[in-house]
Amino acid sequence: MSRPSHILSVLHLFDGGDAAWTVEAIARELGVSVRTSYRTVAELTRNGFLDPGPGATYVLGPAFIRFDRIIRQSDPLIRIASPGMLALLDGAGRPAAALLCRRFRDCVMCVHGVEAEAANPIASYERGVAMSPFRGAPAKIMLSHLPDRVLRGIYLRNEEAIRTSGIETWRQFRAMLRDVRKAGVAVTESEIGQNRMGIAAPILRGDQIVASLSLVVAPATGEALQRLSTLVTGVAASISSALAADDDGAAAAPATNGPGPADAPPAAALPGDRRRVG
């Protein structure tokens, strides 16, 4: 195992549910010597990625908190989408949450969220938590924009999980997603949270799916549902256009003088307020 691979393997151990590891346990789990494990842990600790924990254990360190803050401040997708997400809450006219989700491996992950009433959370999604790639509006709208060859691989790797969602065959899976893509919006009810409806639209860069924008509300029907669906698709389209403008600006700017936060594209002008953004 190469040195970089070993370092990554140590960090991935903390993604399996155990929050604290000893040097010896790391060595056993990865099949390396205690000496190798010790050197890797020492290097990660020096750089803040691990921290001494109870007893002789190590836990994830403060470097991750710092990098999380950097992502929140500098990720172009979050920066561009944030004003539109606030506008989405304003337009909903009811208790709601706006979520920005991306694919992570074979999962769906919320990377940014805003709620109208933080003290009474609406959404079941939490930033950084891997969610089912087959349940919920964010997952379905993103899957619907993947090419068949990618979908086929996802289906084969997750066939049992897909069947538990009520889809029995690859043809049914593909047909369902084609219907979602044709509609331009995914609407689900109580698939993630009870008595919650998710309405999601794609955020695209060209013809490539980048993320999903979704609105979580109490179940709606008829004209109310149509209005909310139109609102979500409109804001998602504005964010997609702003991403394209940002890409064009970055390509035109000198490498040493790229666009910064002050160069926010048109989506930044969407109306919104100063609610706490998570």
The enclosing domain of 252 has a CATH number of 3.30.450.40
Task: Compute the distance between CA of residue 50 and CA of residue 41 in angstroms, rounded to an integer.
Answer: 7
How far lies 263's CA from each of 108, 166, 250, 266, in Å?
29, 46, 10, 9
The CB density around residue 270, as the number of other CB atoms within 10 Å, is 20
Residue 196 lies in domain:
75-269
215 has a pLDDT exceeding 50: yes
pLDDT band at 214 (very low <50, low <70, confident <90, very high): very high
Per-residue tokens: 233: 């698709």
This prediction has a pTM of: 0.79
Q: Strand locations in 140-259, DSSP E? A: 186-189, 197-205, 208-217
Per-residue tokens: 167: 């889809």
Domain count, the chain: 2
Q: Is residue 277 part of a domain?
A: no
Same domain? 54 vs 138:
no
| Distance, C-alpha 79 to centroid of its chain | 14
Instruction: Name the burial class of residue 256, with classes exposed (0-12), middle (13-18) and buried (19+) by CB atoms within 10 angstroms of its CB.
Output: exposed
121 has a pLDDT exceeding 70: no
Same domain? 129 vs 174:
yes
Three-state secondary-structure class, residue 118: coil
Q: Is residue 92 part of a domain?
A: yes
pLDDT band at 128 (very low <50, low <70, confident <90, very high): confident
Q: Is residue 160 part of a domain?
A: yes
Same domain? 85 vs 56:
no
List, for residues 265-277, the tens digit of each pLDDT value: 334 333 334 344 4
Rounded percentage of the chain residues whose pLDDT exceeds 90: 67
DSSP state of 227: H
The DSSP code sequence of 232-259 is HHHHHHHHHHHHHHHHHHHHHS-TTS--
Same domain? 145 vs 188:
yes
b/e code 40-55 from CB counts within 10 Å (16+ = b): bbeebeeeebbeeeee
Q: Is residue 278 part of a domain?
A: no
Question: Edge to edge, what strands does the sheet with 107-115 contain?
Answer: 130-131, 107-115, 97-104, 208-217, 197-205, 186-189
Phi, psi dihedrals of residue 259, rounded to the nearest 5°: -65, 145
pLDDT of amino acid 277: 42
Spatial contact of 102 and 111, defined as CB atoms under 8 Å apart: yes
The CB density around residue 70, as the number of other CB atoms within 10 Å, is 10
Q: Which of 41, 65, 89 is the last residue of a domain?
A: 65
pLDDT band at 246 (very low <50, low <70, confident <90, very high): confident
Residue whose C-alpha is closest to residue 247's, from 77, 82, 101: 77
Task: Compute the distance between CA of residue 109 and CA of residue 130 in angstroms, rounded to an integer.
Answer: 5
